[in-house]
Chains A and B, each alone.
Chain A
């Protein structure tokens, strides 16, 4: 299996190295262009095959890791119950780890989609991307499991401090993203979950999610990216049990930037989803 992947990648490398056309010139040589096209087509097919295989491998690894860390989280929560002073802090951390593991399992379910889509090369890329995100989520679950184990050893004095982070999370009204990404980081998922908890406790409140993107790319692509960002936060709220009639998600794309300078400092401010409350 590994050997096949290595050979495929080598083949891709060789074929693309030979068939790479120039960027800024119009090639008029018919014969070599046909050969280059054939090589390119073969390279693309091999690249797709390699991508799907890579996705399968990562998804399988993510599944194994998610299961192992979920068990670790559960064990840590059980140990913490033995000591009343640390019960609250440890159980909260373990719940978070379980929620993250559930999310990672859901993400790994896209593996099934990846299998189906393997026959359809047009879908292979999206499945690869989802599986990669699942891999990232599973890696963060490992960290959450470790955090749960650490929490089991937290001394009594820290019990008071455990409640402040919730308010601190709630005060954050924006989720930020790397370039071209609409997935929510593990850290930011806690912000969304704090808002979900708040919405659960205040049934009269509803929330409006406004997705934004930086100005690179086209205005339409950025409108779509902003919508995916807002919808990602919405999905997490729905998973946490908040009713859809209390969540509105819209996109402003690149049209309403927080900062209009043409640099990364401005762009990083604009890649965000805003969380705004209203009373129904």
Chain B
């Protein structure tokens, strides 16, 4: 068993040598669906291997165990010899072709190797970005085999810090294709995606104190959302896309306010004398989770937007921070601090039981993928921060998104998963 684990880790690190950002599986799980993604015809001619993108997406979900294509490389249905594939439940075969206008087209089939049937007929995905095409294909395969829509073709945002330089960065869900959208020589914090994925709200200290901005990605145009006295921070969008919750100290202690996305219609939501911060909207927009030390230590509370007392949700010894609602509204993820270590944890609203998703170290700022199946978070790797994902049911250990070729050490922090693109 140990040898299997070691071999898997070795295989993964061997593969990771060539790409810009790589995946590192830290542990392997059981009860996974064995699947083979046969390298597509003409895949090697592209800069990015699309079948590799699909394989890594499926592996990172924790649901699948990727099996090497030892049994030949069929590309068409009539090339498949099912008796060669007794070690897998499913098989993905296909081909890639480049088209005029810098387009990439992938045609693939998903097969049930046990029943020896096609699960869906040939699917074509086309786009100008080869990796995005691969992610879309992975989403379709994932949905067919699990019943849940995939989140692989979504994006993440985070802050990359190097010395005094801070870059607010947008990347694919696997960390590839990183693009800096705002670079300054002052700290940037708390990026938050608008529900339509077109804007990012975030906080910077460039004016000497914490100010909340909203930037439109397509135009790079930026506006100030709140610049009141003291600190303006912790922006989060309401599901309606028209309002945000923010934390302001204008009236004394850090408190939660509702504000319209144009900066108007300010409404105070919490009325205490302690710290209330890190609001997170429920999917129906009617409740907020937030971090508060009103009970003497940082814990997670829930309140209704229509008023009433807040309900405390976390009680296990230690502090709890950074709550985020699961898109299905039934649980939440948060950072749990105990015995000097930080863990990522989930808690079900119904059972109120906390489940740790990581073994504890320096793990912070978790957020759910749009389908609620994966959690993205920040983790210490050596002396600097990097990003990782872990399945929200804890079925396997986390996978780091590792920048293997960066000569200068970048500190990646404040990650947040973006919405489904419509």
Contact = CB atoms under 8 A, between A and B. Distances in A.
Contacts of B252: 231
Interface string A219-249: 1110111111001000000000000000001
B242 interface: no
A223 B230 contact: no
Size category, A interface: 35 or more
A238 to B, nearest CB: 12
A178 to B, nearest CB: 13
Interface string A164-181: 000000000000000010
Contacts of A219: 189-190, 365, 413-414
Contact of B353 (A21, A225, A228, A231): A21
A125 B296 contact: yes
Interface stretch (B53-61, B89-97, B271-279): B271-279
B210 interface: yes
B273 A218 contact: no
Interface string A87-126: 0000000000000000000000000000000001111011
Contact of B294 (A23, A126, A256): A126
A258 to B, nearest CB: 15
Contact of B321 (A122, A129, A221, A250): A221
A217 B249 contact: no
A278 to B, nearest CB: 12
Nearest to B274: A126
Nearest to A129: B296
Interface in A254-268: 255-256, 262
Interface residues of B, number: 53
B355 A224 contact: no
A116 to B, nearest CB: 12
Given A219-B189, A221-B291, A223-B231, A250 B356 contact: no
A221 B337 contact: no
A224 B272 CA distance: 14
Contacts of B203: 223
B157 interface: no
A274 to B, nearest CB: 13
A158 interface: no
B294 A224 contact: no
Given A180-B297, A223-B189, A122 B310 contact: yes
Contacts of A255: 187, 189, 205
A23 B354 contact: yes
A86 interface: no
Given A123-B294, A250-B231, A221 B355 contact: no
B233 interface: yes
Interface string B278-299: 1000000000000101111110
Interface string B220-252: 000000000011011000000000000101001
B272 A123 contact: yes
Nearest to A261: B383
B411 to A, nearest CB: 10
A69 interface: no
B298 A221 contact: yes
A231 B249 contact: yes
Interface in A23-68: 23-27, 33, 37, 40, 44
Given A123-B294, A217-B298, A250 B233 contact: no
B322 interface: yes
A269 to B, nearest CB: 18
Contact of A217 (B233, B321, B356): B321
B254 A228 contact: yes
Max chain B C-beta neighbours (<10 A), residue from A25, A122, A130, A225? A122
B230 A220 contact: no
Contacts of A256: 187, 205
State the 10 A-B residue pairs at the shortest beta-carbon distance, nearest first: A125-B295, A255-B187, A224-B254, A250-B209, A218-B321, A224-B275, A227-B231, A220-B234, A218-B322, A126-B274
Given A217-B337, A251-B231, 7 more contacts: A122-B312, A126-B272, A219-B189, A223-B233, A224-B275, A231-B230, A250-B208
12 contacts: A26-B355, A40-B315, A122-B301, A125-B296, A126-B273, A126-B295, A223-B203, A227-B254, A228-B254, A251-B210, A255-B189, A262-B362
